[in-house]
Amino acid sequence: MVTVYVPSQLRKYCRGATRFPIAADTVQSALGVLEREHAALYRNLCDETGALRGHLNVFVNADHMRDLDGIDTTLAPGDEVTIVPAVSGG
Amino acid sequence: MSGAEAERYSRQVRFAPIGAAGQEAIDRASVGVVGLGALGGVMAEQLARAGVGALRLIDRDLVEFSNLHRQTLYDESDARRRLPKAVAAERRLKRINSRTAIQATVDDLNGSNVEGWLEGLDLVMDGLDNFETRFVLNDACRKARIPWIYTAAVGSYGLVMPVVPDGPCLRCVVGNMPAAGSSPTCDTAGVIAPATAALASVAVAAALRRLTGRLAGGDVRLASIDVWSLRFQTLRPEAELRRACPLCEGGRFDYLHTEPVRAITMCGRNAVQLIPGSRSELDLDTLGRSLEVFGPVESNEFLLRCAAEGFELTLFRDGRAIVRGTEEPSVARAVYSRMVGS
């Protein structure tokens, strides 16, 4: 199991959940699980083509997904996947 | 530094990573603060107290009562008089540290004035409330090789990342400027003072590290902080991001040389029309739900309209907006940033 952390701005799309334990071996498959089980959240993560929305960054543990293998980054049990939206307020 | 001045900073100097040499570097430094709201106010105050030699401040907004729960530089008297934040901040900071040279400007920072405003600065603090100005600042600081500290907050959450000449920039991490309305603003989603104060403090710590020679490109981390759920993370934006960045790799200053949002005063109508430089279709359904915090939202398939704080905002699906209740473009931009985000 890996843990996917949901940022506060998107929790309204998954009944306030802060994290999900998910059985997935890549970032892509973790998003697939979210698409099936939390459709409203998924629609705010990915566009109609399935691409991650531009203002979102995904980190696997402390590393940016783009510094690893992108959406195909492999996940090991215990890994933490964190969705970090760009923030503009101040 | 006189004996009294040395005593004033003695506890900070005793902190080994700063020391006497670090304090002298802080004393020599000129630091800019863009935006003097909840983040920028805390930043400016902490930097003045730390003994920064010169502070250059810029903000386009006025103090309002809805600011006072988190914007710690201001009080009820400032809000009653609707003082410009830059003016109220300058007065307060001079009382905090009379030795720090303060230069305050009431204005909108944009592509036409940013390069002049940056001249001579060693570092810039981001106290902004919108992406539009941040992307201009990111371009201009990259061009002038001036470090800046990206800092942003909403709700109980926010991000801090130092942007230094040999490290990743905002565009490396965020990509192109997010579409208007794609992220919540402090006006739509709310914000609490513990979040803004914590994030501003983390940013000032990064500033002190930079000014004392202890923060280079390899040390850069993106700090993600939620003071309500107590989730604190430091994330590594590594070199790979820079290789795909149109600014760092391509040398394209896309936001510095274009006006992302054009403002046209609508004569005799007490309104300003805002036209985004690059059109992107707005998600009016999502925006309408966000704007309901201000009151009833009228909408049809082409537009939505709502009123707040004495202004009426009409948003069209193609990104255009009309802000009624002002003829000042900077006021209209501020209303748009607060209600829609940019």
* Domain residue spans of chain A: 2-85
What's the rounded Cα separation, in Å, for the pair B142 and B35?
19
Q: How many CB pairs below 8 Å do chains A and B form together?
A: 114
B84-114 residue pLDDT tens: 999 999 999 999 999 999 999 998 898 889 9
Asked if the A2-85 domain carries CATH number 3.10.20.30, the reply is: yes
A5 pLDDT higher than 90: yes
What's the rounded Cα separation, in Å, for the pair B203 and B303?
39
Q: How near does any CA of chain A get to the CA of B246, in Å?
A: 15
Mapped onto helix, strand or coil, the DSSP state of residue B81 is coil
**Residues B288-301, buried b or exposed e (16+ Cβ, 10 A)?**
bebbeebeebeeee
pTM value is: 0.85
* Block residue for tokens 């909403």: B154
Q: What's the pLDDT score for residue B309?
A: 80
Residues near A50 by Cβ (< 8 Å), separated by ≥ 6? Answer: none
B163 pLDDT higher than 70: yes
Task: Considering only the beta carbons, identify the residue of A64, A86, A88 that sits closest to B185.
Answer: A88
Q: What is the value of ipTM here, to two decimals?
A: 0.85
Q: How near does any CA of chain B get to the CA of A69, in Å?
A: 11
What's the rounded Cα separation, in Å, for the pair B295 and B334?
19
A15-46 residue pLDDT tens: 999 999 999 999 999 999 999 999 999 999 99
What's the rounded Cα separation, in Å, for the pair A27 and B89?
46
User: Is B156's CB within 8 Å of A8's CB?
Assistant: yes
